Amino acid sequence: MRAFWEHGYEAVSIADLTETMGIKAPSLYAAFGDKRTLFEEAVEAYVRDFGAFSGQALTEEPTARRAVARMLREAAAFHTLPGYPRGCMIITAATNCTAQSEEVMRSLQGRRAQTVELLEWRIQEDIRSGELPGDTDAHTLATYGATVLQGMSQQARDGADRTTLERVAELAMAAWPAGRSDEEGEGGSAREA
Amino acid sequence: MRAFWEHGYEAVSIADLTETMGIKAPSLYAAFGDKRTLFEEAVEAYVRDFGAFSGQALTEEPTARRAVARMLREAAAFHTLPGYPRGCMIITAATNCTAQSEEVMRSLQGRRAQTVELLEWRIQEDIRSGELPGDTDAHTLATYGATVLQGMSQQARDGADRTTLERVAELAMAAWPAGRSDEEGEGGSAREA
DNA sequence: GTCTTTCTATAGCAACCGATACAGAAAAGG
DNA sequence: CCTTTTCTGTATCGGTTGCTATAGAAAGAC
């Protein structure tokens, strides 16, 4: 997983994997069957251990605004974990692809699209509930959230440190429209006028 | 150039290049000497024809704010040119790299860092001139600009259309602090209090 | 102990990688 | 016309890719 995370799908060879895993090629193929299958399992392990924060933030927080704020804040941390590759595996692991690994690319592309759709759905939910004004552009807003998230991954890869990214995440939220629940006061949860 | 732009450095083979260029391998090596050299020339051709907008915006505009606004607006167009690969070649062409092409990766990384440094320098210039308040965090602000720019490239690759990206660019500027020249009125150039 | 089952390591498969040696065709000079 | 030079195409180099057949070692059953 770490090898795929750092170098991407095609740039990691079977020889690299057998070397870092301490096993020989036949054992690897007996256990995983295929390089693609092994990659898919590595992706699922990554999502489980390091990539679940975005889905959790987008489902657990009460408003889309708080969800995105938390997602970006935690992304700053997860994209700069000490001792781990920088950036997000889902974003970077399949960007330079041959024709034969197009399916792998589209697989990760689907996962990214899933996150954007979930975010857009949360925004539309806030529009329906009156939390956000009725003329809010949900598609643009969701794309903006994904843009900042994926840009932070690239910046982490290029060496940006965690505190800088956390400040970027906080700054990015200044462009996000304030909802009804955080118009006055700042608790936003218990205080209802 | 288009092949490297779309698939990246390592994912394009010499056979791909000789096929799309209509020449055989020995002619290619006689003309360019090396795959790496050919890639570098392709990068320079890309920067000249499609990637100069960011440098121009960052040097020609009177303030850092207007520079970033223009850079992001034009990026939305250049990252979604009809008939060309999506996104920015400098950002995506060398992300999945083997150990042998680390130099290529660092070369593009250096070009990206150059843009961020130029942006940060423009911001500090505005701070010195009083256009921006003295406690402005130039490093965070420059990283934010680069984050949105690179995130837009990723979004373009994932299928975002031009108008959506232009709205994202405009929305992103809502997080950018207003300078002294655009506090009141909106011309900002001829009107001096 | 002996037999059976599971696992692992050696060796090698066809296909492709970047890069060249060499021969033949085309063009330029007289 | 002939010679010299430049260019292009065929064939191939050693190395690596993902993947596997086959033989040998380790472990469990009794």
The average confidence (pLDDT) of chain A is: 94
Nearest CA in chain B to A107: B158
Token pair for B61? 């505009």
Chain A nearest CA to B87, separation (Å): 11
Q: What is the pLDDT of residues B107-153, one digit of tens each?
A: 999 999 999 999 999 999 999 999 999 999 999 999 999 999 999 99
Nearest to A161 by CA among A110, A189, A169: A169
pLDDT score at A192: 44
Residue B191 lies in a domain: no
Res. A80: pLDDT tops 70: yes
pLDDT score of A189 more than 50: no
Q: Judge: A143–B160 Cβ closer than 8 Å, yes or no.
A: yes
CA distance B167 to chain A (A): 6
Judging contacts by C-beta atoms under 8 Å, the chain A residues touching residue B96 are 7-11, 92-97
Rounded Cα gap, residues B125 and A25, in angstroms: 57
In a domain, B44, yes or no: no
Summarize the confidence of residues A56-79 as an average pLDDT: 98
B164: chain A residues, CB-CB within 8 Å: 139-140, 143
Higher pLDDT, B142 or B185: B142
Which residue from B minimizes the CA distance to A4?
Answer: B96
Q: In this structure, is residue B32 part of a structural domain?
A: no
Q: Give the pLDDT score at B186.
A: 52
Please give, rounded to a whole number of angstroms, the shortest distance from the CA of A117 to a CA of chain B: 13
Asked whether residue B12, judged by its CB, lies under 7 Å from any atom of the DNA or RNA strand C, the reply is yes
Dist CA A11 CA A6 (whole Å): 9
Instruction: Fill in the DSSP letter of residue B139.
Output: H
Confidence of residue B191 (pLDDT cuts 50, 70, 90): very low
Domain containing residue B162: CATH number: 1.10.357.10
**pLDDT of A188 higher than 60:** no
pLDDT for residue B183: 75
| Strand C and B35 CB separated by under 7 Å | yes
Residue A30 has pLDDT above 80, yes or no: yes
Q: Is residue A22 part of a domain?
A: no
CA/C1' separation B98–D14 (Å): 20
| Res B74 pLDDT > 80 | yes
Mean pLDDT over each residue of chain B, to the nearest integer: 94
Q: Do B95 and A155 touch (CB under 8 A)?
A: no
The verdict on a CB contact (< 8 Å) between A164 and B140 is yes
Residue of A150, A158, A172 with shortest CB distance to B155: A150
User: What pLDDT does residue B193 have?
Assistant: 41
Give the model's pLDDT for residue B189: 46
Instruction: Give me the mean pLDDT over the A56-62 stretch.
Output: 98
Q: Cα separation of B189 and B187, whole Å?
A: 6
A:29-48 Cβ neighbours of strand C under 7 Å = 30
Please state the φ and ψ torsions of residue B69, each to the nearest 5 degrees. -60, -45
Residue type at position A20: T
For residue B1, pLDDT beyond 80: yes
DSSP, residue by residue, B96-137:
S--GGGHHHHHHHHHHHHHHHHHHHHHHHHHHHHTSS-TT--
Q: Nearest nucleotide by C1' from A25 CA?
A: D19
pLDDT in tens, B167-182: 999 999 999 999 999 8
Q: Cβ neighbours of residue A166 under 8 Å, at least 6 residues apart?
A: A73, A76, A77
Position A185 scores a pLDDT of 55
pLDDT above 50 for B188: no
Q: Is residue B96 a part of any domain in this protein?
A: yes
What integer is the mean pLDDT of A57-68?
A: 98
Angle at A154 between CA A151 and CA A157, to 5 degrees: 150
Q: Which nucleotide is nearest to B12 (CA to C1')?
A: C17
Q: What is the pLDDT of residues A102-161, one digit of tens each?
A: 999 999 999 999 999 999 999 999 999 999 999 999 999 999 999 999 999 999 999 999
Instruction: State whether the beta carbon of A23 lies below 7 angstroms from any atom of strand C.
Output: yes
- Whether residue A159 is contained in a domain is answered as yes
Q: Tell me what pLDDT residue A83 has.
A: 97
Nearest protein residue by Cα to C1' of nucleotide D20: A26
Number of domains in chain A: 1
**pLDDT exceeding 70 applies to what percent of chain B?**
95
Nucleotide nearest to A29 (CA to C1'): D19
In a domain, A69, yes or no: yes
Q: Measured between CA atoms, how close is B168 to chain A, in angstroms?
A: 5
Hey, is B153 helix, strand or coil?
A: helix
SS (H, E, C) chain A: CHHHHHHCCCCCCHHHHHHHHCCCHHHHHHHHCCHHHHHHHHHHHHHHHCCHHHHHHHHHCCCHHHHHHHHHHHHHHHCCCCCCCCCCHHHHCCCCCCHHHHHHHHHHHHHHHHHHHHHHHHHHHHHHHCCCCCCCCHHHHHHHHHHHHHHHHHHHHCCCCHHHHHHHHHHHHHHCCCCHHHCCCCCCCCCCC
The verdict on residue B187 lying in a domain is no
Model confidence at A58, pLDDT cuts 50, 70, 90, reads very high
Q: What is the mean pLDDT of residues B154-168?
A: 98
List the domain range (segments joined by +) for residue B169: 51-179
- pLDDT for res A182: 83
Search chain B and give the residue with CA nearest A137: B167
What letter does residue B182 receive in the DSSP assignment?
G
What pLDDT score was predicted for residue B182? 83
CA distance A5 to chain B (A): 10
Q: Which residues of B are less than 8 Å from A96 in CB distance?
A: 7-11, 92-97
Mutant choice from B147, B152, B153 vs A, greatest count of A C-beta within 10 A: B147
- Please determine, for residue A190, whether its predicted confidence score (pLDDT) is greater than 60: no
Of A9, A158, A168, the CB nearest to B96: A9
**Confidence (pLDDT) at B187:** 47
